[in-house]
């Protein structure tokens, strides 16, 4: 602990290492002074002086104070929750692991009220696009706090979000470029994509979510083509026959694969440039007699489907395991015949979510993540709040993230209502 009237702060690991090093140097200098002083008075005096200086540095050095939410926080905008930021930077109903954001400002050297345009390149480089300000699990990540860069090739935006009501379903959807892609120089375009659609009768919500492979140079294009084609084909099939069980999964995924290949050929891209994973879901807009509903799904790859209520449960897909967790057995457009069909029963009072592995890995791997989302998404949040919470910073979670979350039994509430 520090002293001499300054605010007491705890030591961190770097402070301890510094003090151990300073103590060691001081001890060695004093020992050397005693040895050398008997033979070389001048060298001995120099060693003695070094030992004294090291001892003084050890005695007077103080650790830098750690981040203090009361001192460093800026007011966190109230995004529609009963528990927004307080004026002091605290938070009513504060989440476990929640960390107040640091001030997002440029230092005095970069500009001041009397010099509004005098911002240096160094100062600008320290600024971060902090979509997830205020939501940190564990220690967070250095990439999550890094500035957002721009890709060389113009493509889809780094962020996309939607909110809608269909029947008794309330939907929130968002996709955001991951830290590993956005903080490179140059950045990599967001490789996830999603599409929402409905049949003509309004009896079914159609969800398509795709995850482009990082090893493919234009996988974001493959993902966009995959979701748009899948949504179009599913709505057409449901308009012909409003029974998801009648959908031909092999034909659906073969059509998607052909569309990816044809689009790539027209733009000079090969199939290997456009690889992606795809999951689709058809959600009834009304419940069965017992209040449950049967959600039809099909997928290629490690995208996943979850049910959510008091807790999150993975209904389709499995947590990753093994030495190389990023290896997949099947991708589009190469393996449309590997599509797997499933039917997920959603109990009354629960919802369903379709996720890429950027969100699925977060739920499976990060302590407290499932509790965080169960608590924050117990009811449909405002769209901006949903996006900010999807961007929660967590260690080791740097992939693109896409989530389409459906709350069943919305009862006709307006979008964004509480």
Q: What is the pLDDT of residues 124-154, one digit of tens each?
A: 333 333 444 457 776 667 666 778 888 877 7
Taking the domains of the chain in order of start, what are their residue ranges?
13-60, 143-408
For 111-121, what is the mean pLDDT? 38
Band of pLDDT at residue 8, cut at 50, 70 and 90: very low
For 226-232, what is the mean pLDDT? 98
Report the distance separating Cα 308 and Cα 170, nearest Å. 14
Do residues 274 and 228 make contact, with C-beta atoms less than 8 angstroms apart? no
Q: What is the pLDDT of residues 294-333, one digit of tens each?
A: 999 999 998 999 999 989 999 998 776 655 566 788 999 9
Length of the chain counted residue by residue: 418
Quick one: pLDDT at residue 35? 65
Percent of the chain with pLDDT strictly greater than 70: 64
Quick one: pLDDT at residue 305? 97
Percent of the chain with pLDDT strictly greater than 90: 51
Quick one: pLDDT at residue 53? 73
Alpha carbon distances (Å) from 395 to 54, 180, 230, 350:
37, 12, 33, 29
Among the residue ranges 10-24, 182-196, 197-211, the one predicted with the least confidence is: 10-24
Fold that domain 143-408 belongs to in CATH: Phosphatase 2c; domain 1 (3.60.40)
E runs forming strands in 19-135:
none
Average pLDDT, the chain: 77
Compare 101 and 350 and report the one with higher pLDDT: 350
Peptide bond into 119 cis (omega under 30): no
Burial of 72 from C-beta contacts in 10 A (0-12 / 13-18 / 19+)? middle
Do residues 180 and 159 make contact, with C-beta atoms less than 8 angstroms apart? no
Do residues 279 and 304 make contact, with C-beta atoms less than 8 angstroms apart? yes
């Amino acid at each position: 602990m520090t002293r001499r009237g300054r605010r007491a702060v705890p030591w961190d690991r770097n402070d301890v290492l510094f003090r151990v090093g300073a103590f060691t140097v001081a001890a060695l200098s004093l020992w050397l002074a005693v040895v050398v002083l008997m033979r070389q008075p001048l060298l001995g005096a120099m060693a003695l002086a070094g030992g004294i200086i090291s001892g003084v540095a050890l005695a007077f050095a103080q650790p830098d104070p750690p981040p203090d939410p009361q001192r460093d926080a800026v007011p966190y905008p109230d995004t529609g929750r009963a528990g927004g930021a307080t004026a002091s930077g605290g938070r009513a109903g504060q989440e476990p692991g929640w960390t107040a954001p640091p001030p997002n400002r440029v230092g005095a050297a970069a500009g001041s009220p009397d010099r509004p345009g005098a911002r240096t390149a160094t100062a600008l480089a320290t600024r971060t696009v902090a979509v997830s300000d205020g939501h940190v699990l564990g220690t967070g990540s250095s990439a999550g706090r890094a500035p957002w860069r721009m890709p060389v090739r113009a493509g889809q935006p780094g962020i996309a979000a939607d909110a809608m009501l269909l029947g008794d379903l309330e939907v929130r959807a968002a996709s955001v470029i991951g830290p590993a892609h956005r903080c490179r120089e140059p950045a990599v375009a967001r490789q996830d994509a999603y599409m929402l659609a409905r049949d003509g009768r309004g009896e079914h919500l159609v969800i398509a979510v795709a995850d482009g492979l990082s090893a493919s140079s234009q996988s974001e294009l493959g993902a966009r083509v995959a979701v748009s084609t899948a949504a179009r084909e599913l709505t057409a099939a449901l308009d012909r026959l409003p029974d998801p069980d009648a959908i031909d999964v092999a034909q659906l995924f073969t059509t998607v694969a052909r569309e990816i290949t044809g689009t790539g050929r027209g733009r000079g891209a090969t199939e290997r440039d456009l690889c992606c994973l795809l999951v689709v879901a058809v959600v009834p807009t009304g419940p069965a007699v017992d209040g449950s509903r049967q959600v039809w799904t099909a997928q290629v790859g490690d995208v996943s489907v979850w049910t959510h209520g008091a807790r999150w449960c993975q209904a389709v897909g499995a947590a990753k395991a093994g030495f190389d967790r990023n290896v997949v057995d099947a991708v589009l457009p190469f393996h449309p015949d590997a599509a797997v069909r499933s039917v997920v029963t959603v109990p009354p009072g629960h919802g369903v979510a379709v996720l890429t592995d950027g969100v699925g890995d977060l739920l499976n791997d990060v302590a407290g993540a499932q509790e965080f989302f169960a608590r924050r998404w117990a009811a449909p949040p405002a769209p901006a709040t949903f996006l900010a919470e999807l961007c929660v910073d967590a260690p080791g979670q740097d992939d693109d993230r896409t989530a389409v979350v459906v709350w069943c039994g919305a009862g006709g509430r307006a979008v964004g209502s509480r």
